Amino acid sequence: MVSILSFDSRSLTSLLDEKNSELFDPTYPLFYRNKIQKGPYQQDKYFYRNAVDIAVKFDQARAIERIIYYIIRYQNNVMSSFLFKKNLNAIIQRGIPVTELLDSDVFRMDFDFDEWPSTHTDDSKYIRPYNGSIFDLR
C-alpha cells in the first residue's frame, strides 16, 4: 500500500502520521523492494522498485521526508540501506535533509573484530612498524 501511495505526499503523510504510531512495528517493515516483471513477453526479466524511488520520480519532497523519518525510527538497520541505493544523490540534490539518515544505523554498522588494531587488548600487536599489512597474522 505504501508503494502505491508514495506518489502522493498528502496520502503518505497521513498514513505515516504519528497518530498511527501504535500500528507501526519494526518487526514488519513498510518499505521494501518490489520485484516487477519488465513486460508480458519478457517472462524472465525483472526490475526492482521501492516507495522511495517512486516518491523521487514524482518529486514528492514531503513524502520523501516522511519516509526517511519512518525508516530512521522504525526500520533503523543496515538492511534498509538498499532503499537508497539508486536515489540518494537525487534526494540530496532536492535539498532534503539526510543528516539523520546518514547518522542512523541504516548507513552505519558497528562491528567487533578482535584482531582490529584499535579494539584488541594486546597493545604490542598494533604498535609496530608497517610491514605491508597490519592484518598479517604471522
Q: Tell me: the pLDDT tens digits for 42-73?
A: 888 998 899 999 999 999 999 999 999 999 99
Higher pLDDT, 2 or 82: 82
pLDDT of residue 73: 94
Q: What ranges in the chain are assigned the alpha helix state H?
A: 2-5, 9-15, 51-57, 61-74, 88-93, 99-103, 123-126
Establish if 16 belongs to a structural domain. yes
Q: Quick check: helix, strand or coil at residue 91?
A: helix
Q: Is residue 98 a part of any domain in this protein?
A: yes
Identify whether 13 is part of a domain. yes
Q: How many domains does the chain have?
A: 1
What local confidence, expressed as pLDDT, does residue 40 receive?
83
For residue 3, the model assigns a pLDDT of 73
Q: 103: which 3 cell numbers?
A: 547518522
How large a percentage of the chain has pLDDT more than 70? 78
Residues of the domain holding 57 = 2-111
Confidence of residue 116 (pLDDT cuts 50, 70, 90): low
Q: Residue 116 domain-assigned? A: no
Considering the domain boundaries, does residue 69 fall inside one?
yes
- Global pTM reads 0.73
What type of residue is 18? E
